[in-house]
Amino acid sequence: MLLLFPLLLSTVQTWAYRVPGQKKSDSCRCDVNTTIWSFPALRYEAVQQQVETCETSLHGLQQQVLVSSQRLPDIQVQISNLTARLEPYQYLHDRGLYTALSIRLLGQELSQLETDITVVHEIKVMVNVIIDIAYPKYSKLRKDVLKMQTSDTVNMKTVKEKLRYLKNNVESCKSIPKDFRDTFPPVSGQNRYCMKGLITNISEPVTTKINPYNKNHVSGSWGKQAQMDSESDTETYWVQTLTSSNIYGNIVRLYQTYKDFMRSANHRDATFSSSVTAPTAIEGPSAVLYGDGLYYHCYRSADICRYDLKTNEVKRVTLPGTGVGFNNKFPYCYYECRSNSDVDVEADETGLWALYATVGNHGNLVVSKLFWDDNSKTINVSQTWETRLFKKAATNAFMVCGVMYATRYVDEYREEVFYAFDTATGKEDNSLELPLEKVAKGVASLSYNPVDRQIYMYNDGYLLAYQAYF
């Protein structure tokens, strides 16, 4: 088995390093020598030393020029004084009365003045010559150092991205035994609305819009009322933007029609918590409007909250599992971690779901089925599944007909659905390659709506929707 690491340089060259592997016990071991990408530290230090020496020399010359410049006024004063003193000698000379002593004294002063002027002139000439020679060399050395730093930054970022990509692929492969990678059977016995089999394709965005606040609010969730048999208006659209540090919020914005939503008109704001730090505030970019209830992750807890749009009451339930992750313990990551995306609430044809990770499941995704008991007015957890997908190896996830789908980062304008877990059979598949186009790099939330079979993405402040095909 060979691994290929492309290393991009600032000169837009591509280097490749092939690594031989050894197969042992159904696994492949490759020893990668990362020193080939090492930054040339010795050369860098030598060049840096030369630059520092040049800077010191130039500084010294500048000081000498400054001192010489400071001496020039004194010399000019001496010249003025000598000129004044020459007047009596000129008078004596005109009358032939000067003496040998006066001539000798005047000669000594003139000799000293000549020496001073010569020294200043020599220093000035020397400084100009050295600057003419040293400055171009200094400039070249400085450019070389900056070029090396730029090249090193590009190399390190490229290698980091490639290593992250390989690491996440390894985590995904480790999580799924070989005998689980077969084609999913048609989903049966769960819900009369469910389509057969897995999603086969996802459209380009059919809706693209900036969130109603501004695009600087990069985290949140949005969608359409998701309960299929609800007496509530199934045409209601909602947006829940995390307006505090892109992590916390306490308001959901509601629109009665798609037209109102697209025009950002005739909205109603429902406040489900007294503040963004109250126990009933939302933490993290995941919510879903299901019937008359907004379901979301409760502030700094392992709980799911339900806010009733009619009564304004908030109910909650604690998720099962040992060491349920919250407060940024197990966020979605892959390329870049999405702050406080520990608990993900989803809806599909079969009802409500919570997706999260636990210490007991080694940071892998856990799926819990939720339901609302209208008689007792309580949220309940009916069943829980543990998957083998490491949560930080995914950018997001959503549910469709009891199947959890997970995504990963491909590039700035594309995500990919690569994994599925079927709660009906317990089977897992990481061979999917379903592209999702984006308009920005980060994915805050993904949710599927069973009413219109669309997937809703909160994409770094942009609201996108896609059509799912089966």
Q: If DSSP codes are grouped into helix, strand and coil, which group holds residue 378?
A: strand
- Beta strands of 234-343 (E only): which ranges? 237-241, 248-249, 251-255, 268-271, 282-290, 293-298, 303-308, 314-318
pLDDT for 144 equals 73
How far is 342 from 330, CA to CA, in rounded Å?
5
Q: Under 8 Å CB-to-CB from 297, ≥6 apart: which residues? A: 282, 283, 284, 286, 287, 303, 304, 305, 326, 342, 343, 344, 345
pLDDT for 149 equals 67
DSSP state of 115: H
How far is 315 from 330, CA to CA, in rounded Å?
24
Residue 306, pLDDT > 80, answer: yes
pLDDT band at 129 (very low <50, low <70, confident <90, very high): low
Mean pLDDT, to the nearest integer, of 339-368? 93
Greater model confidence, 328 or 356: 356
Highest mean pLDDT among 18-27, 82-91, 186-195: 18-27
Q: Under 8 Å CB-to-CB from 27, ≥6 apart: which residues? A: none
Give yes or no for a contact between 238 and 227, defined as CB atoms under 8 angstroms apart: no
pLDDT for 303 equals 94
Mean pLDDT, to the nearest integer, of 100-124? 68
Q: Quick: pLDDT tens for 237-272.
A: 999 999 899 999 999 999 999 999 999 989 999 999
- Beta strands of 160-245 (E only): which ranges? 201-202, 207-210, 220-224, 237-241
pLDDT band at 323 (very low <50, low <70, confident <90, very high): very high
pLDDT for 187 equals 40
* Lowest mean pLDDT segment, chosen from 44-48, 283-287, 290-294: 44-48
Identify which of 441, 201, 351, 267 has the alpha carbon closest to the alpha carbon of residue 458: 441
pLDDT for 88 equals 63
pLDDT for 72 equals 65
pLDDT for 158 equals 60
Greater model confidence, 115 or 314: 314
* Lowest mean pLDDT segment, chosen from 129-143, 180-194, 266-280, 396-410: 180-194
Helix axes 41-95, 100-175, angle to 10 degrees: 170
**Tokens 């959901």, residue located:** 252
Structure tokens at 270: 């429902």
Mean pLDDT, to the nearest integer, of 444-463? 93
Greater model confidence, 136 or 322: 322
pLDDT band at 32 (very low <50, low <70, confident <90, very high): low
Residue 140, pLDDT > 80, answer: no
How far is 325 from 340, CA to CA, in rounded Å?
10
Q: SS3 letters for 262-282?
A: HHCCCCEEEECCCCCCCCCCE
Terminal-residue alpha carbon distance, the chain: 35
Mean pLDDT, to the nearest integer, of 284-288? 91
Residue 351, pLDDT > 70, answer: yes
Identify which of 253, 174, 259, 205 has the alpha carbon closest to the alpha carbon of residue 462: 205
Highest mean pLDDT among 176-190, 206-220, 306-320: 306-320
The tally of CA atoms less than 13 A away on the side-chain side of residue 280 is 15
Greater model confidence, 129 or 190: 129
Residue 408, pLDDT > 90, answer: yes
Residue 185, pLDDT > 60, answer: no
Residue 51, pLDDT > 50, answer: yes
Q: If DSSP codes are grouped into helix, strand and coil, which group holds residue 435?
A: strand
Give yes or no for a contact between 444 and 458, defined as CB atoms under 8 angstroms apart: yes
How far is 410 from 165, CA to CA, in rounded Å?
9
DSSP state of 393: G
Output the average pLDDT for the chain. Answer: 79
Residue 344, pLDDT > 90, answer: yes
Structure tokens at 325: 């992750």
* Lowest mean pLDDT segment, chosen from 73-77, 248-252, 446-450: 73-77
Give yes or no for a contact between 239 and 212, defined as CB atoms under 8 angstroms apart: yes
**CB atoms inside a 10 Å sphere around CB 153:** 12
